[in-house]
Amino acid sequence: MTKAEIVANIANKTGIEKVAVQATVEAFMDAVKNSLAKGKNVYLRGFGSFIIKQRAEKTGRNISKNTTIIIPAHNIPSFKPAKTFVSEVKKNV
């Protein structure tokens, strides 16, 4: 499902214009991105959590040059679904 399909789906269910729904979806995504960029997790009860995971420093390989490189420690965004979310997906598969 694409962002455009999500916007259309919400607009059909709520009767709100697509332009307003598009702005709302964009604002939601910006809020999540900004929160994670500041190091704050986002918790949505019944849906899941957008969290920051910390990756440790590790050694990688450049196969084409046959050299080793050090990949520094870094943070990555991650999504952890709620238990109700997971059980709903498992039922519908």
Residues 91 and 47 in one domain: yes
What's the CATH code of the domain at 45? Answer: 4.10.520.10
SS3 78: strand
What pLDDT band is residue 76 in, cutting at 50, 70 and 90? very high
Residues 91 and 51 in one domain: yes
Q: How far apart are CA 21 and CA 13, in angstroms?
A: 11
Give one word for 55, left, alpha or beta, with left for phi > 0 and alpha for psi -120 to 50: beta
Q: Residue range 50-58: average pLDDT?
A: 95
Residues 27 and 47 in one domain: no
Residues 48 and 89 in one domain: yes
Number of domains in the chain: 2
| Owning domain of residue 75 | 41-93
Residues 35 and 45 in one domain: no
Residues 57 and 92 in one domain: yes
Q: Kindly report the pTM of this predicted structure.
A: 0.79
